[in-house]
Amino acid sequence: MSKNYRAELVGAFGNPIDENPTGVMEEAAFAAKGLNFRYLTVKVDKEDLEAAMNGVKAFQMKGINLTIPHKVRVLEYLDELSEAARIIGAVNMVVNKDGKLWGENTDGKGFLISLKNEDVSVDGKNVVILGAGGAAKAIGVECALAGAKKITVVNRSRERGQDLAHLIAEKTSADSQYVSWDASYRVEPNTDILINATSIGLYPDVDKKPDVDYNTITPSMVVSDVVFNDPNTLFLQEAAKRGSHTVNGLGMLVNQGALNFTLWTGTEAPLDVMTDALKKEFGL
Ligand code: NDP
Ligand 1 pocket, residues with Cβ under 6 angstroms? 107, 110, 131-136, 155-157, 160, 198-200, 202, 226-228, 249, 252-253, 256
pLDDT at 64 over 90: yes
Mutate to test the pocket of ligand 1, among 66, 155, 198 (most ligand atoms within 8 A of CB): 198
Instruction: Say yes or no to pLDDT of 207 above 80.
Output: yes
Write down the pLDDT at residue 1. Answer: 72
Q: In whole numbers, what is the pLDDT of the chain averaged over residues?
A: 97
pLDDT for 229: 86
Q: Would you say residue 139 has pLDDT above 80?
A: yes
Confidence grade of residue 194 (pLDDT, cut at 50, 70, 90)? very high
Residue 43: pLDDT band with limits 50, 70, 90: very high
Do the beta carbons of residue 201 and residue 209 sit within 8 Å?
Answer: yes
Encode the chain in three state secondary structure.
CCCCCCCEEEEEEECCCCCCCHHHHHHHHHHHCCCCEEEEEEECCHHHHHHHHHHHHHCCCCEEEECCCCCCHHHHHCCEECHHHHHHCCCCEEEEECCEEEEECCHHHHHHHHHHCCCCCCCCCEEEEECCCHHHHHHHHHHHHCCCCEEEEEECCHHHHHHHHHHHHHHCCCEEEEEECCCCECCCCCCCEEEECCCCCCCCCCCCCCCECHHHCCCCCEEEECCCCCCCCHHHHHHHHCCCEEECCHHHHHHHHHHHHHHHHCCCCCHHHHHHHHHHHCCC
Q: Is 65 annotated as a binding-site member? A: no
Domains of the chain by residue range: 8-104+252-281, 108-248
Residue 61 confidence class, pLDDT cut points 50, 70, 90: very high
| Mean pLDDT, range 32-53, rounded to an integer | 98
pLDDT for res 230: 87
pLDDT at 99 over 90: yes
Q: For 167-185, write each residue's pLDDT tens digit.
A: 999 999 999 999 999 999 9
Average pLDDT (101-122) is 97
Q: In CATH, which of 3.55.50.30, 3.40.50.2300, 3.40.50.10860, 1.10.645.10 is domain 8-104+252-281?
A: 3.40.50.10860
Topology annotation, domain 108-248: Rossmann fold (3.40.50)
Amino acid identity, position 279: K
> 8-104+252-281 and 108-248 share one CATH topology?
yes
**Amino acid of residue 142:** E
Per-residue pLDDT of 66-81, as tens digits, reads 999 999 999 999 999 9
Say whether 135 counts as a known binding-site residue.
yes
Q: How far is the CA of 64 from the centre of ligand 1 (A)?
A: 22
Annotated ligand binding at 23? The verdict is: no
CA distance 240 to 247: 10
Share of the chain above pLDDT 90, in %: 96
Q: Is 71 a catalytic residue?
A: yes
pLDDT digits (tens, 9 = 90+) for 228-256: 988 999 999 999 999 999 999 999 999 99
Catalytic residue among 3, 33, 46, 71: 71
